[in-house]
Chains A and B, each alone.
Chain A
Amino acid sequence: MGAFSPLSMKSLLPLSLLATVGGSGSQDVLLKLAGVDYLILGIYFAFVLAIGWVLRKYLKTSKDFFESGRSLPAWVCALGFIGANLGAQEVVGMAASGAKYGIATSHFYWVGAIPAMVFVGVFMMPFYYGSKARSVPEYLKMRFDEKTRTFNALSFAVMTVFSSGISMFALAKLLNAIIGWNFDGCIIVSSLIVLIYIYSGGLTSAIYNEVLQFFLIVLGFLPLVLLGLKDIGGWDGLMTNLGGYSASKGMPGAWSSSWAHLGHPADNPLGIEWFGLVAGLGFVMSFGYWCTDFLVIQRAMAAKDMNAARRTPLIAAIPKMMFPALVILPGMLAIALFYKGGHSSIPLPVSANGTPDYNMVVPTMLAKYLPHGMLGIGLTALMASFMSGMAGNVTAFNTVWTYDLYQRWFNHSASDAHLIKVGRVTTIVGLLISACCAYAATKFNNIMDMLQLVFGFVNAPLFATFLLGMFWRRTNGHGAFYGLLTGTLCAAIFQGNTIAAGETPGLLKGGWLSIQHTFASSMAQTWWMAIFAFTGCFTATLVISLATRPNHTDDELRGLVYSLTEKIRDEGTPWYARPATLGVIVLAGAVVLNVIFW
C-alpha cells in the first residue's frame, strides 16, 4: 500500500488496512461464534435501527437533517466527534502500529491530535460556529470566494465517499478472513444498516450511534488490555519483553520509549527524527485534519450554542488522550507476548520473511482472550466502529453535496423540504458509490492507491489556507485558491523527487522525477511532503494576497477573521466550562504523558 493514506484521520495512520488483512483467506477461520455472540450482535443492530426510527419524528427541517438542528449538548457532540474519528482503521491500525512501533505510536495522539484539538476549540470554532456557515466549504465561500469553496467541496466530497468505500471494503475483508462471512453479504448488510439510520434520522442518528459505539469500544476493549497485561506479568513484564524484542531488532529500548530514540531516523522503527515528527505530523498533518476536516467539525457545529461548540473538541481531547491505553497497548502486548513465546504466546500470523501480520493483532487478541459472550461484544464494537466510520463520511458527504454543490450550482432556490429529500437521495447515492469503491479496491488496488496519493497532495496544504484566512484579514480569494493549487503542486513535486528506503521509484512511491533524498520510511516521506506543501501554500497565499486586491470589505469579514471579531467573554461561565481553561488543562495533561513515557 502507498505511503499516503490521506483519508481523514487515516492520513495520520502509518499503515493501511488494505495491505495485509486476511492474507490468503483460505485457512481455517480465526473466530467461531456461538449463539450468544449472534444474539449480542443482533441486539446492537436492532438498537441502531431503532434509534434512527425514533429520531425520524424529531426531524422537521433540513437544519435538523444536516446539522442536528444545532441543538445537542457539548458532551454528546464531543463523543460523536471522537467516535467519528475512532473508526476501525483507528482501532485495528493503531494496534498494528503499537506492535510495529511500540510506545512511539502515542505521538499520533499526544503530538498528532491533542494540540490541534485544543487549537480548533479555543481559536477556530468561534469562526466556524459564529459565521453560521453550514459546512466548512461554506465558510470558505464566506471568507474567500466561490472557487475556493467549490475546489474544497469537490475534493472533500470525492474523498469522503471514497473513504467510506475503503471502510466498507476493510470491514468485509476482515470479517471474511476472521469469521468466514461472505464478502458481498457484508457490504450489502453494512451499507443497508448505515443507509436506514441516516436516511431516517440524519446527522443526529449518526452522532447518537457514534456515542453508543464510543462506549462499546471502551467497555469492549478494556478487558482485552487487562487480560493481556495480566498474562504478560503486568507493566514490568511488558517492558522486559518489549526490551528483549527491541534488542532483537537492533534498536534497544526503542519500543518502550516515545522520545528518547527520535534523535536520528535510524534509531527508531518509525524512521523519523523529532523535527519531521513535530512539524510534519504534529503541526501540518494534525492541524490540517482536526482543524479543517468537515467530518469532525460537523459534529462540533451540531452543538446547541457557541460555548458547547468550542468545548466539543476540548472534551473530546480527554478520552483521546487516554486512547493509547486502549488501542496502542493491545498492539504492544501482542508483540511482547509474541516475543515471549511459550504458554502466553499469541498466534500472530507471520509472513514468509518473518514479519508478523500487524493488522491481525486485534482479531488475534480477541480470539485468544475473549470467551463467547464477551467475544460477541468485542466483535460488535469492531463492526460498530467500521460502520460509524462509514456513517461519518456519508453524513459529511450528503451535507457538502446538498449545500455546497447542489444548492449552489443546480438549484439555488430549493425549498427546505426539497433539500431534505436531496440529502436522503444523496445518502443512497453516496453509499452506492462507496460500494463501487469497495469493489474497485478488490480489483484495482493501484487505482485506489493513486487516488489516496492525489488526496494527499490536495489535503497537505489545507491548514495554511485556514490559518491565514482566520488570522490575517488581508488574505483574499485569489491568494487562497492559487495558494492551495501551489501547495498541491509542491506536494506532487516533492513526492516526485524523493523516495523511501527499499521502495522502487514510480508514480506511487515517488522518485519519478529524480531522487534528491531517500527517507528511512515512507511515513517520514509523507510528513516531510506535508511540511513542503504547507510552506508552499503559505508563501504563495501570502504573496498573491498582497499582490492582488482584497475581495471583501472589513465589514463583510466581521465574524470570519480574528482581528475583526469581537472576543467572546467567559466571565459569566464557571471555570470548568471555559474553553481556555479546559484547553490549558488538556495541554498540560498531554505534556505530562509525554514526559512519563519519554
Chain B
Amino acid sequence: MQLDVRIPMGLLFLLLGIILVVYGLTSDPAIYTQHSLGQNVNLVWGSIFAVFGAVMLLLSRRKSG
C-alpha cells in the first residue's frame, strides 16, 4: 500500500489557497490595479486553490473510507 498522492496534494493546495485568500483580503488594493487589471487575483485564485485542495482531500478519504 502506497501513500495516496491526493493527500499531500490536497493539503498543499488547501494551505496555499488559504494563504492567498488571507493575503488577498489584507493586501493593499493598489497592487491589483498595478498588476492584474484591477482584479484581486489572490482572492479569486486562492479560493480556487483551496477548493481544489479540499476536493482532493475528499476524494482521498472517500476511497479509503
Measured CB to CB, the residues of A under 8 A from B are: 36, 39-40, 43-44, 47, 50-51, 54-55, 58, 68-69, 71-72, 76, 204, 208, 211-212, 215, 219, 223, 227, 230-231, 368-374, 377
Contacts and interface: CB of A to CB of B under 8 A. Distances in A.
Contacts of A43: 12, 15-16, 19
Contacts of A227: 36-37, 39, 41
Contacts, number: 90
18 contacts: A40-B16, A51-B3, A54-B3, A55-B2, A68-B2, A71-B2, A208-B8, A211-B5, A211-B9, A219-B48, A227-B36, A231-B37, A368-B35, A371-B27, A372-B23, A372-B27, A373-B19, A373-B46
Given A44-B16, A227-B36, 10 more contacts: A39-B19, A43-B15, A51-B3, A68-B2, A212-B9, A215-B13, A371-B34, A373-B23, A373-B27, A373-B42
B9 A215 contact: yes
A233 B22 CA distance: 30
A71 B13 CA distance: 25
A36 B19 CA distance: 8
Contacts of B9: 211-212, 215
Given A54-B3, A58-B3, A219-B49, A370 B35 contact: yes
A76 to B, nearest CB: 6
Nearest to B48: A219
Nearest to B42: A373
B8 A47 contact: yes
Contacts of B31: 371-372
Contacts of A231: 37
A226 B25 CA distance: 21
Given A71-B2, A211-B5, A373 B20 contact: yes
Interface of B: 1-3, 5, 8-9, 11-13, 15-16, 19-20, 23-24, 27, 31-32, 34-37, 39, 41-42, 45-46, 48-49, 52
A223 B41 contact: yes
A72 B4 CA distance: 10
Contacts of A51: 3, 8
Contacts of B32: 371
Contact of B5 (A44, A208, A373, A377): A208
B65 to A, nearest CB: 17
A370 B41 contact: yes
Q: Which of B1, B32, B36 has most chain A Cβ within 10 Å? A: B36
A204 B37 CA distance: 41
Nearest to A304: B2
Contacts of B46: 373
A369 B36 contact: yes
The 9 nearest A-B residue pairs measured at CB: A373-B42, A371-B31, A371-B35, A373-B23, A47-B12, A208-B5, A374-B41, A36-B23, A373-B20
A72 B2 contact: yes
Contacts of B37: 227, 230-231, 369
A55 B7 CA distance: 13
Contacts of A377: 16, 20, 45
A76 B3 CA distance: 12
Contacts of A58: 1-3
Nearest to B7: A54
B2 A370 contact: no
A40 B8 contact: no
Contacts of B42: 371, 373-374
Given A227-B36, A369-B35, A371-B31, A215 B41 contact: no
A223 B46 CA distance: 11
B42 to A, nearest CB: 4
